[in-house]
């Protein structure tokens, strides 16, 4: 069942770059192996953490094909793809129909700042034509608008909309959604530090940033919480607190890539307009990872 496959920890994959700022596939393979050894439950390709805004269309398909072919444990895959042009995303999605994705993660329309009615219509039309079930993605700091609880509850009635990734930092809003949707509607944390309390309310796990760097620790924390072992989960959560702060210290994915360089998994290069993380942050990661 799709909801069971996407319960636990999904890793929001970064996209490594070489010195020419081309996609570094050797580093991507190393990252996939690292994550696989950490026993995460699924992978999210080309989300915000993957710098999707600066990935060219031809690169997008090469990255997808590479991950499909170099997925050591054949983990379920989720495609990150969104747009603030409803017509564009509806037509573009058909290009992905032959890939083995379990779901589409689509960010709420950004910059346009549509009304809640506009957001509802946007997602309904996407879900009507998407080759994959749809997961909403609410991240107001990036989009400029909040996907309100009532909006998510209304969208949850669509048979092809199976969950939401919540990164609004509002546990009350998450509670309202959980209380007013079916048990099989996925509530996925989009903020690593809020994952444990969100699971305690009835959440299903996280699409995580830090799980690129520490896949075992974070995934195990989520698994323990989902089993109801909050004491064990809390110990891991507290041990990860500094890591949560570090992976957001200079923005995402800038900070995360800096941590991955500190761990000798890949380099910290990012594409403009992002700017690579500082040496000070790298040194803080080195001390943390000890």
For residue 166, give every residue at least 6 positions away whose Cβ sits within 8 Å of its Cβ, in sequence order, or none.
138, 173, 174, 177, 187, 188, 189, 190, 191, 198
Give the CB-side neighbour count of residue 7, counting CA atoms within 13 A: 17
Annotated catalytic residue 165:
yes
* Helix (H) or strand (E) segment spanning residue 284: helix 279-289
**Annotated catalytic residue: which of 42, 137, 257, 282?**
137
Residues 240, 192: contact at Cβ < 8 Å? yes
Long-range pairs of 213-216 with CB within 8 A, sequence gap ≥ 24: 213/243, 213/247, 213/256, 213/259, 213/260, 213/263, 213/265, 214/38, 214/240, 214/243, 215/9, 215/11, 215/34, 215/35, 215/37, 215/38, 215/39, 215/40, 216/37, 216/38, 216/39
Residues 178, 187: contact at Cβ < 8 Å? yes
* Alpha carbons 88 and 129: distance in angstroms, whole number: 12
Pull the structure tokens for residue 256.
Answer: 């995360």
**Annotated catalytic residue: which of 42, 165, 244, 257?**
165
Q: Catalytic amino acids?
A: 137, 165
């Amino acid at each position: 069942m799709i909801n069971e496959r996407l319960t636990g920890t999904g890793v929001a994959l970064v996209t490594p770059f070489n010195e020419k700022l081309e996609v570094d596939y050797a580093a991507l393979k190393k990252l996939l192996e690292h994550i696989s050894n950490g026993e995460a439950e699924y992978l999210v390709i080309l989300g915000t953490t993957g710098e999707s805004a600066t990935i060219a269309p031809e690169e997008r398909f090469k990255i997808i094909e590479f991950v499909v072919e170099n997925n050591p444990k054949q983990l379920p895959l989720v495609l990150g793809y969104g747009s603030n042009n409803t017509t564009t995303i509806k037509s573009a999605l058909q290009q992905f129909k032959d890939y083995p994705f379990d779901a589409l993660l689509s960010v709420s329309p950004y910059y346009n700042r549509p009304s809640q009615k506009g957001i509802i219509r946007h997602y309904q039309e996407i879900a009507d034509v998407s080759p994959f079930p749809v997961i909403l993605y609410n991240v107001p700091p990036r989009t400029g608008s909040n996907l309100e609880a009532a909006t998510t509850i209304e969208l949850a009635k669509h048979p092809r909309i199976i969950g939401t990734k919540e990164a609004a930092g509002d546990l009350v809003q998450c509670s309202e959604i959980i209380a007013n949707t079916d048990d099989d509607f996925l509530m996925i944390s989009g903020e690593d530090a809020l994952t444990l309390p969100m699971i305690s309310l009835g959440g299903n796990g996280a699409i995580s940033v830090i799980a690129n760097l520490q896949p075992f620790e974070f995934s195990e924390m989520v698994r323990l919480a989902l089993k109801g072992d909050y004491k064990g989960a809390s110990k891991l959560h507290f041990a990860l607190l500094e890591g949560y702060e570090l992976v957001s210290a200079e923005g995402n994915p800038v900070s995360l890539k800096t941590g991955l360089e500190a761990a000798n998994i890949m380099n910290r290069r990012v594409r403009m307009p992002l700017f690579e993380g500082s040496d000070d942050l790298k040194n803080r990661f080195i001390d943390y990872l000890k």
